[in-house]
Chains A and B, each alone.
Chain A
Amino acid sequence: MGVEQKQVDVVAISPPPEEQRAKRNAEFPADGAKKGRYDLPASLDTTSPVGFRTRLSMTEKMAQQALQLLALERPKAFVKDAVVPTEQALFEEVSLGILTARQSTNYVGHKDIILGPSDSRLAADILRQLKGNEAPVLDNATHTHIVLSRPYRTPFTMLLTFIGHKPVVSLATVAIRGLRKRIQHVDDIPTIGYLQQLHIGILADQMERAAVIASAGRQQAQVFMRPFAGEHARTNQKAMRKLEELIGLSAEDRVKGWRVATVAQVGEVATGSRVRITANTLRRLGANLLAFRSERIQPGVNQEEKAPDAYQIRQDMDVPDELTVMAGRAGYNAFIHWTGVDREIAKRLLLLERIDVLTPNGKDRIREVRAHLDSVTDKVIANIPLWADLPTGKALSRNAARGKKAFALAGQRIYMGGLDQEAIKEAGIDWVQAVRAFGAASARGALVAELMGVVDLPDDCDLLAGICLMAGPVNQNDIGKSFYGEEDLLQSAFPNQKPTSLLFWTLKAKTVADPIGNEEQLMNATRKGALVDLRPGPHEVVSLRLNGKIQPMRNREGRINAERAFSDMNNFVTDPYGVEIPGNRGSLWPDAWRNEKPW
């Protein structure tokens, strides 16, 4: 897998004229007033390292340095007898990895068990027994992440159980499908299963960057994903069991569907091989990565009527073509990195349809897509079994109807992406690995837009560009394909292939960040969105293997993490007068514990 990646370059985005610039400027609700999604929350109660964060401006020079991480090559070797990272460094690494690597659909479907140096040696021995490693297994890892994953299940997937049944027999078929899903982990529609794989790819890609950023450039990660995907996972079962035994995966966990998905060896690289990024840039980048999130609202296009003025103004901004080229370059970098195919083959395999919403053709196409998705929603609602819908006060059909709003597509550039299973097979790539690589490619491409959105960010703007990665419209299309004989959304653009669409990207140039209520859905249990999960704290999804025992991270002596990662960069949301949200800044983990070396 020695395919070279291409350097990604900065494409600055011009801010709009000053009179068009607007910031979110959310305020606390007045005493006695009802809180809405545009108001700041009264306080934040979370163990997540994220909190409500703002984007930090980066100079063009800083951004160019940071972009090296979007063409990061694998480490060749780790330095012998390197110093084990402190607990604090591990916390920052997982904060940029498993605790944030997914976008808005932040389901708790991953777990990370970190092994120390001696266990890493055992893990390395097991890794060498695996077939399909993307790169050599390295010696001298200071620590190793064993990432587990399980099938994607949320209230949305529960709703899917009721879709696509025939009248009368639905009484039996709903139950059968529900049981198959629970016991055999069979998905209702294929793209729901692919979500799990997309997320694994996104996480694996982010773990490579996280190791560099958290160690101030001292360390790198050697991440293995392919041995645990598709056919390789079947042939590697015996060795995978050994890994599972090492991390104490129980039979009960296996029944729930937990399996090893990715392994990342992390170690110190020789001075001459390190990525040349200044420590200050890395910390700023780390803080920004915690602030980046899905941007769904295009001011003046898909805002609510009740939205504040800042969202009502249509801004004369556009996503530069050159930026989409660089986003594509980063995406191809990721795809070739994770599949090992040549760049030209990658360009052929990644099926992308671009919709320029500002052009007449683009407008027509987006209308066509919307109409298709709405028609699927209508069919879903019409076919939901009444015996299930009526007793729940039509909760099922009402939730299904929400899709029309949730899957609304807005942005100046919209891309639909997917893969052709036959073409992937012909290229000699395992389908599951290809889907994972597609996830990695999509997230890495998105990161270009997010990073360019903070280059020379003026004080009167929250951002200059944002992106939303959406699987919802694809899932809706897949419902149409699976149950109502519809064709794939990418079929018209690729008439001679058999595409499976996997994701939508909606790129936006704008200065106003999405309503803070969207972020609150990820952090406040009482305001949790129907389709999302809460951002986890380290103790919920990360464990350390210490003296043979698996210990949850940052759950110690009755204390649970309240620290926000990279809090020294001070990018916390305040009201327009500088008042902080109580509880948002967090509190540093005790010095004595954070400075400890766990092994």
Chain B
Amino acid sequence: MSELPTYGSAYAKILFSRKKGGEVGHIEESVQGVRIDRSHLRAFLKVAGAVDDGRMPPTYPHVLIGALHARLISRDDFPHPALGLVHVANKIRVIEPMKLDDSWDVTVRIDGQREANKGIEFDLITEFTRDGVLVWDQITTVLRPGKKLGSSSKPSGNMRESGVHTRSSTIFASEDIGRKYASVSGDYNPIHLHASVAKLFGFKRAIATGMWTVARMAAELDTDMPDSGYILDVSFKRPVFLPSRVVFEANTQAKQTQWRVLSTNGKTLHMTGSVLSLDSENR
């Protein structure tokens, strides 16, 4: 493809298909010459609370090719229904600096699936290359909830960590943040949009889009994030219901950051994450 697809056709297939599950093999989509629309980037920065400092926000490529993800999982050879899939973890590697006026070739693929504690998991792998050189990639780990293999329990008690942090602040996830993020990401998953719709899917209120939370926390880390040569790794634990205030705690030492998001009463862990240098992966 030489142009990014739109969400429209993918959404129609997602809403009206009657997939029943099965085994996913290798499926792939790609697009060449992806470029940034600066006004779209500005809109993203505003929703993410990020500063327009000329750097590529680490999660923006994910937003940029969201429609390609939608297209992949709406294909007939992807056997699982897209509605009800749960994003459980995300690992981004910013390998090379990404200039805002560059263009990239993008591939997204799934290479099979595996059984997990709470159902079936698969990885959605995204790669951005420039002149054949890999500059950014992402592993989006998705769960199709199903039969539970092992026991899992919600962490209980207080989540306070010993020691001090370099950042520790309260962040507000507004009631409309799901809709605002959808307007720039194209991810109109109904559980993020409105409480009344989210209730139809078993949630007491709408929940924040996981990747918005990651983008917001990355924005909070600001210049604690290197320009490139790092891994942004997150694990989604419990949903952030909208609206709510959450505590963001981070500890950055020698350009390596561990962070997490928890409830203001300290009893619910919503997300954990880290920013590590690429070298640490090779060690």
A residues contacting B by CB (< 8 A) are 28, 31, 42-46, 557-559, 562, 570, 572, 574, 577-580, 582-588, 590-593
Bound Cα distance from A584 to B249, whole angstroms: 10
Q: Is the CB–CB distance between A45 and B264 below 8 Å?
A: yes
Tally of A-B residue pairs with Cβ under 8 A? 88
The answer to whether A28 touches B222 (Cβ under 8 A) is: no
Tell me which of B45, B158, B160 contacts A557 (CB under 8 A): B45
Kindly identify which residue among A28, A582, A590 contacts B249, using a CB–CB cutoff of 8 Å: A582
Q: Is B164 an interface residue (CB 8 A)?
A: yes
Residues in A with CB closer than 8 Å to B250 are 587
B49-A588 in contact (CB<8A): no
Question: In the complex, what residue of chain A is closest to B174 when comparing beta carbons?
Answer: A558
Is B264 within 8 A of A590, CB to CB?
Answer: no
Choose from A558, A578, A585 the contact partner of B167 (Cβ within 8 Å).
A585
Is B46 a contact of A42 with CB atoms below 8 Å? Answer: no
A592 touches B170 (CB 8 A): no
Q: Is B9 an interface residue (CB 8 A)?
A: no
**Are B51 and A585 interface neighbours, CB within 8 A?**
no
5 tightest A-B CB contacts, nearest first: A562-B169, A587-B169, A45-B170, A587-B167, A585-B168
Q: How far is the CA of A579 from the CA of B265 in the complex (A)?
A: 15
Q: How close is B89's CB to chain A, nearest CB, in angstroms?
A: 23
Establish whether residues A43 and B222, one from each chain, have CB atoms under 8 Å apart when the complex forms: no
A578 & B160 in contact (Cβ 8 Å cutoff): no
Contacting residues, chain B, for A582 (C-beta < 8 A): 160, 168, 247, 249, 262, 264, 266
Most chain B beta-carbon neighbours within 10 Å: one of A558, A570, A582, A593? A582
Question: In this assembly, does B202 line the interface, its C-beta being within 8 Å of a C-beta of chain A?
Answer: no
Chain A residue with the shortest CB-CB distance to B260: A582
- In whole angstroms, what is the CA distance A574 to B161 when docked? 11
Bin chain B's interface residue count.
35 or more
Chain B residues near A (Cβ < 8 Å) = 45-47, 49-53, 157-158, 160-171, 219-220, 222-223, 245, 247-250, 262, 264-266
Q: Is the CB of B222 within 8 A of A31?
A: no
Cβ-defined partner of B162 (8 Å) among A557, A577, A584, A586: A577
Q: Which residues of A contact B166 (CB under 8 A)?
A: 585
Q: How far is the CA of A591 from the CA of B167 in the complex (A)?
A: 14
Closest to A558 in B: B49
Partner of B264, one of A572, A578, A583: A583
Q: What are the residues of chain A within 8 A of B45 when measuring CB–CB?
A: 557
CB distance from A474 to the nearest CB of B (A): 37
Q: Is the CB of A579 within 8 A of B163?
A: yes
Q: Are B165 and A580 in contact (CB under 8 A)?
A: yes
A–B complex contacts, Cβ < 8 Å, 15 sampled: A42-B158, A42-B266, A43-B266, A557-B49, A562-B171, A579-B163, A580-B168, A583-B168, A584-B168, A586-B169, A587-B167, A587-B169, A588-B222, A590-B219, A590-B223
- What are the residues of chain B within 8 A of A572 when measuring CB–CB? 164
Q: How far is the CA of A45 from the CA of B164 in the complex (A)?
A: 17
Once the chains bind, are B162 and A43 in contact (CB under 8 Å)?
Answer: no
